[in-house]
């Protein structure tokens, strides 16, 4: 690679007052940089190898705005723009990447210590900005959160969107505060010992403001995703497309100090090459993390249950670090709601959830009624810390017709049971913003497109999607601003009534998870799970060298008594969701149980109880 091509894509400003531009535009014979503010200058770019163009511009300052003029005919923003202050159709802005970081002693935290809190910047606070999140970090930390996960922040059209319609992967959303504000947020998180994960979208780009096709063959001719054109990761000239996305990922790790990337819907990335893009990305990210002496992770979203994404690269895998486990969520959701529409039809038994506890995936090669084919591979050999589990997330809430949260679907007792099921699992937990205090606001799908035809297309697409799940009734209009406004959190509720009780319950669950070594250590081998299908009970026993616990999860609305195979010893109750302090009807059992190999306990409806062995020689 020539020296000109070794520098970063886009506009890179130096304190000496010069700015270097690098653009890949093999479709253009001639490219100019048009500086539109301040003043009005046109600078010819020089063609170099492989369809690249470069320019060095003197006497330019951060805040200067520019467009690329292709072939002397059309003007477009920079595909590698760092900031789009006027939105997806306006000029790109030169930025100063320097920032006064104060996290020099931050090296990240191990993945097994992550307690993720997924949030949408625009609805997490009434202001909808990065800076508005900062005052809430300490409260999340006190709750027990160790990492926030930001839904995508790459520039999207308008000022309200989930983020998956982003069209400038390098640019930080202007309405959220832009790149400097994101750095302030990440720096503040690190100062308080909290990691930051960022959701990135490499399987497609949004429909509005997507001008990449004017520059080069960024999109595949033969593949499509559910959201539009697939990215060209394996066709002619795909090496430079890969470079674009790998460089984007490295930007988040290096310039923004992000600790983990959540890769959206990698099952929609079609790549038949001998060395897949995701393997190349994994290699680049982990190599950079080693150079930086930081712990950095790649977390995949995939609906295939394919453990090869987690397998080492030398064993033919992609070398990613963790995967969202939808099977765990679906099992919990069905046990709580009884829903059987769409993909939920594949989950109906207590045994499904017990299997998810034991192994990770429920579907490891069995036939799926929903997919009408076999699904998945065995996840038994994969370590527990590589599965992310949740009772709710943006997809599972927002893809309903009105964006109803679990708090709108089930009882207070069931919310407590859902929380304990996730947090007492041997996996890395994720909470969705507001679930910890039973946020009543919906989280609906919303957009703010400027093209009326596109808006109607989005509405039609949503109706078609919901029809696949046989969800009838009213649909929240994605374009209507009120749909967005209704989705903003009512954060003050966390201190009131049953909202406060639930938040305190989450805090106690997370404290137990930290303080009891058997819960803190993520290990599927030090785990026993027994399901009782007739009573809808799951008995979970976990241990390590210094700690031994059992938890009982009761997914039924009746008071029952049940005999459980508890190892001989003395066991002290650590938590009962039916206790009065948690808004329950009162505990049914003694504080201490003495077992000779079996104990009889009473369980309230939708209850969870946890006991820890009191002896020092716990298994």
Residues 160, 235, single domain; the answer is yes
Which residue reads 């992310």 in tokens?
388
Q: Can you list the positions of beta strands (E) in 345-439?
A: 366-368, 373-375, 387-390, 428-432
pLDDT score at 2? 65
Q: Is the dihedral of CA 201, 203, 207, 210 positive or negative?
A: positive
Q: How far apart are CA 324 and CA 388, in angstroms?
A: 5
Residues 438, 357, single domain; the answer is yes
Q: Are strands 116-119 and 428-432 parallel, antiparallel or unpaired?
A: parallel
Question: Count of CB atoms within 10 A of residue 312's CB?
Answer: 10
Do residues 442 and 480 lie in contact, with contact meaning Cβ atoms separated by under 8 Å? no
Per-residue b or e along 211-240, where b marks 16 or more CB atoms closer than 10 Å to that residue's CB: bbebbbbbbbeebebebebbbbbbbeebeb
Residues 20, 151, single domain; the answer is no
Question: Count of CB atoms within 10 A of residue 126's CB?
Answer: 12
Residues 272, 419, single domain; the answer is yes
Assigned token pair, 510: 């997370």
The CA-CA-CA angle for residues 583, 584, 585, to 5°, reads: 135
Q: How far apart are CA 342 and CA 242, in angstroms?
A: 34
Assigned token pair, 537: 């009970």
pLDDT score at 471? 66
Q: How far apart are CA 129 and CA 137, in angstroms?
A: 14
The last residue of a domain, from among 509, 532, 558: 509
**CA atoms within a 13 Å half-sphere pointing along the CA-CB vector of 16:** 7
Answer yes or no: is 99 within a domain. no
Do residues 398 and 405 lie in contact, with contact meaning Cβ atoms separated by under 8 Å? no
pLDDT score at 419? 98
Answer yes or no: is 603 within a domain. yes
Low-confidence ranges of the chain (pLDDT < 50): 617-619
Within 426-476, residue ranges assigned H as helices are 452-468
Residues 26, 72, single domain; the answer is yes
Residues 390, 505, single domain; the answer is yes
DSSP code, position 151: P
Answer yes or no: is 301 within a domain. yes
pLDDT score at 335? 98
243: enclosing H helix or E strand: helix 238-254
CATH code assigned at 561: 2.60.40.1180
The last residue of a domain, from among 487, 509, 531: 509
Answer yes or no: is 582 within a domain. yes
Residues 249, 320, single domain; the answer is yes
CATH code assigned at 75: 2.60.40.10
Answer yes or no: is 517 within a domain. no
Residue 73, φ and ψ in degrees, nearest 5? -120, -50
Number of independent structural domains in the chain:
3
Q: How far apart are CA 154 and CA 178, in angstroms?
A: 10
Answer yes or no: is 103 within a domain. no
CATH code assigned at 280: 3.20.20.80
Per the structure, the complete domain to which residue 84 belongs is given by: 3-93
Establish whether 301 is a catalytic residue.
Answer: yes
pLDDT score at 388? 98
Q: How far apart are CA 613 and CA 543, in angstroms?
A: 10
pLDDT score at 614? 83
Kindly tell me the number of DSSP H helices and DSSP E strands found in the chain.
Answer: 15, 31
pLDDT in tens, 561-610: 999 999 999 999 999 999 999 999 998 788 999 999 999 999 999 999 99
Answer yes or no: is 435 within a domain. yes
pLDDT score at 619? 40
Q: Which of 32, 264, 395, 531 is catalytic?
A: 264
Establish whether 40 is a catalytic residue.
Answer: no
Q: Is the dihedral of CA 55, 59, 64, 67 positive or negative?
A: negative
Q: Which of 118, 234, 279, 301 is catalytic?
A: 301
Residues 501, 527, single domain; the answer is no
3-state secondary structure at position 474: coil
Q: Are strands 154-155 and 168-172 parallel, antiparallel or unpaired?
A: antiparallel
Q: How far apart are CA 364 and CA 387, in angstroms?
A: 15
Q: How far apart are CA 500 and CA 117, in angstroms?
A: 18
Residue 466, φ and ψ in degrees, nearest 5? -65, -35
Residues 590, 484, single domain; the answer is no
Residues 457, 529, single domain; the answer is no
Answer yes or no: is 104 within a domain. no
Q: Is the dihedral of CA 149, 152, 158, 161 positive or negative?
A: negative
Do residues 113 and 429 lie in contact, with contact meaning Cβ atoms separated by under 8 Å? no
Assigned token pair, 536: 């809808």
Do residues 265 and 231 lie in contact, with contact meaning Cβ atoms separated by under 8 Å? no
Residues 336, 388, single domain; the answer is yes
Residues counted in the chain: 619
Residues 545, 585, single domain; the answer is yes
């Amino acid at each position: 690679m020539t020296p000109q091509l070794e520098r970063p894509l886009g506009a890179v400003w130096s304190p000496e007052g010069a700015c270097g531009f690098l653009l890949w535009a093999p479709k253009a014979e001639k490219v100019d940089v048009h500086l539109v503010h301040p003043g009005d200058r046109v600078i010819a770019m020089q063609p170099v190898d492989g369809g690249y163009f470069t320019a060095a511009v003197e006497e330019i300052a951060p805040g200067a705005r520019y467009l690329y003029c292709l072939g002397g005919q059309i003007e477009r923003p920079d595909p590698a723009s760092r900031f789009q202050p006027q939105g997806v159709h306006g000029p790109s802005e030169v930025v100063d990447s320097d920032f006064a970081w104060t996290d020099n002693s931050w090296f990240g935290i191990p993945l097994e210590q992550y307690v993720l809190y997924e949030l949408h910047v625009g609805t997490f606070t009434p202001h909808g900005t990065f800076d508005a999140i900062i005052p809430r970090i300490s409260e999340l930390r006190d709750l027990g959160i160790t990492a926030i996960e930001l839904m995508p922040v790459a520039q999207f059209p308008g000022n309200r969107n989930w983020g998956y319609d982003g069209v400038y992967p390098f640019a930080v959303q202007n309405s959220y505060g832009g790149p400097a504000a994101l750095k302030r947020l990440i720096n503040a998180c690190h100062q308080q010992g909290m990691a930051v994960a960022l959701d990135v979208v490499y399987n497609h780009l949004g429909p509005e403001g997507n001008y990449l096709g004017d520059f080069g063959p960024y999109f595949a001719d033969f593949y499509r995703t559910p959201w539009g054109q697939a990215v060209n990761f394996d066709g002619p000239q795909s090496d430079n497309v890969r470079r674009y996305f790998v460089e984007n990922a490295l930007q988040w790790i290096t310039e923004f100090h992000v600790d983990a990337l959540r890769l959206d819907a990698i099952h929609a990335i079609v790549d038949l090459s001998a060395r897949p893009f995701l393997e190349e990305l994994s290699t680049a990210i982990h190599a950079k993390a080693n150079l930086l002496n930081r712990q950095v992770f790649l977390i995949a979203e995939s609906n295939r249950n394919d453990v090869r994404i987690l397998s080492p690269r030398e064993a033919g895998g992609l070398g990613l670090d963790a995967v969202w486990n939808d099977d765990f969520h679906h099992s919990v959701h069905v046990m709580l709601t009884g829903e059987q529409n769409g993909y939920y039809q594949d989950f109906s038994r207590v045994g499904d959830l017990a299997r998810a506890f034991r192994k990770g995936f429920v579907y490891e090669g069995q036939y799926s009624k929903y997919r009408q084919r076999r699904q998945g591979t065995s996840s038994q050999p994969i370590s527990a810390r590589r599965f992310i589990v949740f009772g709710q997330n943006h997809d599972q809430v927002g893809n309903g017709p009105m964006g109803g949260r679990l708090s709108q679907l089930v009882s207070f007792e069931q919310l407590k049971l859902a929380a304990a099921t996730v947090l007492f699992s041997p996996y890395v937990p994720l909470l969705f913003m507001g679930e910890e205090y039973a946020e009543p606001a919906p989280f609906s799908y919303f957009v703010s497109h400027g093209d009326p035809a596109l808006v109607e297309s989005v509405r039609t697409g949503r109706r078609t999607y919901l029809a696949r799940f046989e969800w009838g009734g009213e649909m929240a209009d994605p374009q209507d601003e009120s749909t967005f406004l209704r989705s903003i959190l009512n954060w003050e509720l966390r201190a009131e009534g049953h909202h406060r009780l639930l938040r305190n319950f989450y805090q106690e669950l997370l404290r137990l998870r930290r303080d009891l070594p058997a819960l803190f250590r993520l290990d599927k081998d030090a785990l026993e799970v027994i399901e009782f299908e007739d009573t809808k009970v799951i008995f979970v026993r976990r241990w390590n060298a210094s700690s031994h616990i059992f938890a009982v999860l009761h997914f039924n609305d009746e008071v029952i008594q049940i005999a459980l195979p508890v190892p001989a010893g003395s066991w002290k109750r650590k938590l009962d969701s039916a206790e009065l302090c948690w808004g329950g009807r009162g505990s049914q059992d003694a504080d201490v149980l003495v077992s000779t190999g079996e104990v009889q306990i009473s369980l309230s409806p939708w209850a969870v109880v946890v006991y820890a062995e009191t002896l020092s020689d716990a298994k």
